[in-house]
Amino acid sequence: MAEISTRESYGKTLVELGKENKDIVVLDADLAKSTMTMYFAQEFPQRFFDCGLAEQNMIGIAAGLAATGKIPFASTFAIFASCRCFDQARMSLGQQHLNIKVVSTHSGVSVGEDGASHHAIEDLALYGSLVGIRIIVPADAIETAAAIRFAASNDGPFYIRLSRPKSPVIFPDTYKFVPDKAIVLKEGNDATIIAMGLMVSRALEAAEMLRKEKINCRVINIHTFKPLDKQTILQAAKETGAIVTVEEHLLHGGLGSEVSRMLAGEKPTPVEFVGINDVYTKSGTPEELLKSNGLTAENIAMSVKKVIKRK
């Protein structure tokens, strides 16, 4: 299976959009080679703004550009886009509801060797607490390109969470992004695995492992974290009676929290959680850190077996 990083797909898609729409501008915080906005900078230097190590100011400049009718894409590492820029995001994206697209790369612990200071494991909780922002976490490079195109053509604030390492390509080139609608990637009635981002490919791997043990799992790709697809989740809860959520994020305030809140009010269902459990992880390779935090296909499969016993 081919592997492409979501950040690379983002950078190349920006260039395509730049050719199609002269109102698209791109801002970065001295990380263009890492966020891959360097492609846009090379093609359209007059529409690219390197704001230096001043991420808060970057959001402020993006707000000004949005107020004049431009479509700004503001990019930096997820840790800076969330923890460092939260006040600016609250004021300009949440309260003013400006047409700003914040696209972060290097999310979660798969950033790897950069260490705990750069592991964005709180960003979805932070942006999820803001009013009126659509949050998208693509599962692969194909979905990333489609999501970026959707954001560019739809008014309003977005937070799009991308990753550093290469990851398996799940979708075909013909994939069409449907906003706010989760995708059932695999059918099954014994339990449901709900995953997003890099964890979707691992959820599929876990489902295949379980199939060999005659456990048939439904696998759902939640590409839109906010708003969640209530209908698809409730249908899965009704038809399978057991849920496992999988995320490269803290359990508190992440996918598991939001799915559980939804189910508690509509369809109480046994839920198990695969995510980061109140710990800041030390430096290591992406695979080492994912494994040490239990973000593996094997751990997902174990959680499925556990939740089935609670049905």
Q: Catalytic site residues?
A: 55
Q: In sequence order, which residues have a C-beta less than 8 Å from that of residue 130 and are 6 or more positions away?
A: 89, 90, 93, 94
Judged on CB neighbours under 10 Å (0-12, 13-18, 19+), 159 is buried
At the top level of CATH, which class does the domain 3-168 belong to? Answer: alpha beta
Predicted confidence (pLDDT) per residue in 153-164, tens digit: 999 999 999 999
The CATH number for 183-308, chosen from 1.10.3720.10, 3.40.640.10, 3.40.50.920, 3.50.50.60, is 3.40.50.920
Cα–chain center distance at 242:
23
The whole-number pLDDT of residue 25 equals 98
pLDDT digits (tens, 9 = 90+) for 163-211: 999 999 999 999 999 999 999 999 999 999 999 999 999 999 999 999 9
Q: What's the pLDDT tens digit per position in 87-106?
A: 999 999 999 999 999 999 99
Q: Where are the domains of the chain?
A: 3-168, 183-308
Contacts (Cβ under 8 Å, ≥6 apart) of 304: 190, 191, 193, 206, 210, 215, 217, 242, 244, 272
8 has pLDDT over 80? yes
Do 3-168 and 183-308 show the same overall fold? yes
Using pLDDT thresholds of 50, 70 and 90, give the confidence band for residue 300: very high
| Overall size of the chain counted in residues | 311
Average pLDDT, the chain: 97
Question: What global pTM score does this model have?
Answer: 0.97
Residue 1 has pLDDT above 80, yes or no: no
pLDDT at 100: 98
Amino acid 106: pLDDT = 97
Look at residues 63, 59, 67, 72 and name the one whose alpha carbon lies nearest to residue 24.
Answer: 72
Amino acid 258: pLDDT: 97
Question: Given pLDDT bands bounded at 50, 70 and 90, which one contains residue 7?
Answer: very high
Structure tokens at 140: 């692969």
Confidence check: pLDDT of 282 > 90? no
